[in-house]
Structure 1
Amino acid sequence: MEDISKSDKYIYILRRRKRMATIVSPQHFSPVEDAENIKKACQGWGTDEKAIISILGHRNLFQRKLIRQAYQEIYHEDLLHQLKSELSGDFERAICLWVLDPPERDAHLANLALQKPVPDCKVLVEIACMRSPEDLLATRRAYRCLYKRSLEEDLASRTTGDIRKLLVATASAYKYHGEEIDETLAHSEAAILHDEILGKAVDHEETIRVISTRSSVQLCAILNRYKDIYGRSITKDILSHPSNEYLSALRAAIRCIKNPNRYYAKVLRNAINTVGTDEDALTRVIVTRAEKDLKKITELYHKRNNESLDQAIARETSRDYKAFLLALLGHGGI
């Protein structure tokens, strides 16, 4: 009975993801034909970007894996290498991220975030706090395979102090992923967080322990109990401190855990409203969520910004990059 229950739950999750995904893919397709058509699009005097978008912009994860495999078998070349040599700019970066398997993609995003002059801790927090235990474990394995170092090793070498403790702890965790909640524990640990944050503690050892070890549902219970007891959200209490890198990452972690869709909607809003548009953030959210919950994220975006995400992308981006993002949002035929 337990196995049947787990199977039913898995099927429910897959169906729910399909309802919340924006990507539109055909039920029947030929990976060999797709691989051959991509090759044709890359031959001659110029690249046929529209043809590439019409294929890869409308294929799900399983289909993209088969296309990449077929391309390797037919042409003895990695599809990613071909795309990188033919495309450029934001479009190239977006479509190559899309072709990567999710663990490789997250490993790549984490490495890019760590290579910046000041590591982009919010990207690292997203990966550590929004992935399932199995997905995060797969990301760590992919990172080690790609870069010949562990993710935890690079996090520790590129950061210091409490931010290092938070990132290493959350990235290396393998949390319980069930639905059970301990209300007594939620009450006691809400008090611990309150005392440490409002008590202006020298370090946040207990806060980091709670955030990095408790399951998502248990953390939501803790955060809800915090607001019930003290009349304010924990993020507002964190704002009472002078801003620093660690507290900014801690607030991001809490928002990721508490309401992931709202968090992503805000990332999109900031990416689009910033001077010049933050294409890296825009690409990251659309590519990583198109097959999961981007439909819900776009609904929240529309509600909070009085325009659709499609309209904002059409206004703020251009050419092939715009066409590809819109394809991932469900535009265009298959």
Structure 2
Amino acid sequence: MCGWCCCLECIHNIPPLNLLFLHFSSTPGREGEEGARTLSPMASISVPDPVPSPTEDAESIRKAVQGWGTDENALIEILGHRTAAQRAEIAVAYEGLYDKPLLRTLQDELSSHFKGAMTLWAMDPAARDAKLAYKALRKKGGDRHAWVLIEVACASSPDHLVAVRKAYCSAYGSSLEEDVAACPLYKEPLKQFLVRLVSSYRYGGEHVDGELARAEAADLHGAVAAKKQPLHGDVVRIVSSRSKPQLKATFQHYKQEHGKAIDEVLEGNRNDKLSAMLKTAVWCLTSPEKHFAEVIRSSIIGLGTDEESLTRAIVSRAEVDMKKVKEEYKVRYKTTVTKDVVGDTSGYYQGILLTLIGAE
């Protein structure tokens, strides 16, 4: 595998964007054709009204990449203001008109971190997460690459995770859970935890069993606080299998009974990487805005910028809950995502990130 956005051969291993979108139309925020065009109320991107037809957008993109130079601003203006469903339709129209995939055009015409952000943004969300997971399983050094697997498994809907697993198998000829289980970068019990997360299916519905929540809060406390085993078998079972409403009830009982939220307890064990991984899962399951605010901040603070993490966080949440992420960021860090991105990025890369972040 090559850089952040990957080589053409890697991109072509992903099934066609239009087929993925049509097959995985149950991802978050999409219910039927109308739902596919409706933004989440917490999404940060804006879409023009009326929206040009996919053919008109495809023709405008072609015009932007023809000739001696590329009109990067035009590409940002078009793709940065379209939903996943609309981008999929543009991709179909573009390939039909010009016999060339839109992703290949972006790969050929753009460069550096701007190319990485634009190609990730142009992908179907399930295919994007499959590629991010594939790359994370091959990244040496640092446990933060496991964050990607936890995000994919926990920060979206059960149906989206199913779509990611299907996209992964179609693209790479193996299952995501098998590749996590075989990955030499992770040791037990973290490996088992990751396998359980990516292979889970959390049933929907708002039903909560109060007695179960109380009992499992006690189980969590016994493992995490008393035994200092954050990835004890009971913890893995509870966190990897319960619905999000059930987990929220469990965590509420935990705080009521023990006077401290479970994520606060885990935060206190800063030097324990297993506690850090469990905290990431707790946040992604119940308050993903906390996790992604932290990803953005950690990618910016310190020497240099971690463009891969910054891009991943902004691209993956722009259509989901970036408004919440921005609110959390402002409360926690006393500044704005926009201000920090402006201070640490430049050029067209900055332009697409700011477009996706939207107004503060």
Fold match, TM over 0.5? yes
* RMSD across aligned positions (CA): 2.3
8 Å contact 1:17–1:293 — kept in the other structure?
no
Helix, strand or coil at the partner of 2:41: helix
How far did 1:15 drift?
10
Answer whether contact 1:163 1:245 (CA < 8 A) is retained. Answer: no
Q: Distance in 1 between matches of 2:264 and 2:46?
A: 39
- For residue 155 of structure 2, the aligned residue among 113, 130, 149 is 130
TM-superposed CA distance for 1:181, in Å, is 0.8
Give the structure 2 partner of residue 275 of structure 1.
Answer: 303
TM-score (norm. length: structure 1): 0.90
> Within 2, Cα distance between the matches of 1:317 and 1:301?
18
How many residues get paired?
323
The 3 A distance-change label for structure 1 pair 85 and 293 is: same
| Runs of 5+ consecutive residues of structure 1 not aligned to the other structure | 1-8
Instruction: Check conservation: 2:230, 2:274, Cα contact below 8 A.
Output: no
Q: Which residue of 2 aligns with 1:46?
A: 69
Q: Distance in 1 between matches of 2:31 and 2:195?
A: 29
2:265 to 212, 221, 237: 237
C-alpha distance in 2 between matches for 1:242 and 1:77: 49
Counterpart check, 1:93 vs 2:93: no
How far did 1:219 drift?
A: 0.7
Partner of 1:180: 207
1:21 partnered with 2:48: no
**How many angstroms apart in 2 are the aligned matches of 1:328 and 1:57?**
6
Deviation, structure 1 residue 308: 2.1
Letter aligned with residue 251 of structure 1:
K
Deviates more, 1:49-58 or 1:272-281: 272-281
Alpha-carbon shift at residue 115 of structure 1 (Å):
1.2
Q: How does 1:95-114 map to 2 (within 5 A)?
A: 95-114=118-137
Q: Give the direction of change, closer, same or farther, for the CA distance of 1:282–1:34 in structure 2 (3 Å limit).
A: same
Please give the per-residue CA displacement for 1:159-195, whole angstroms capped at 9, x wherever unaligned. Answer: 3211111111011011111111111001111111111
Superposed CA deviations along residues 15-56 of structure 1, whole A, max 9, x for unmatched, are 995321111112321211211221222222222211111111
> Alignment partner of 2:335: what SS?
coil
- The alpha-carbon deviation at position 248 of structure 1 amounts to 2.1
Considering fraction of residues, name the structure with more helix: 1
**Counterparts of 2:71 and 2:167, CA distance in 1:** 31
Match of 1:224 in 2: 252
* Counterpart residue number, 2:26: none
Paired residue for 1:3?
A: none
Cα distance per residue 1:236-271 (max 9 Å; x no partner): 434566834433211110122231112222222222
Report runs of 4+ in structure 1 exceeding 6 Å deviation: 13-16
Given residue 174 of structure 2, which amino acid in structure 1 is its aligned partner?
Answer: R
Three-state SS of the structure 2 residue aligned to 1:178 is coil
Letter in 2 for 1:40: K
Compared CA separation, residues 203 and 213, structure 1 to 2 (3 A): closer
5+ residue gaps in structure 2?
1-29
CA distance in 2, matches of 1:20, 1:235: 24
Answer yes or no: is the 8 Å Cα contact 1:314–1:322 preserved in 2: yes
Q: More displaced, 319-328 or 291-300?
A: 291-300
From 96, 104, 108, the equivalent of 1:73 is 96
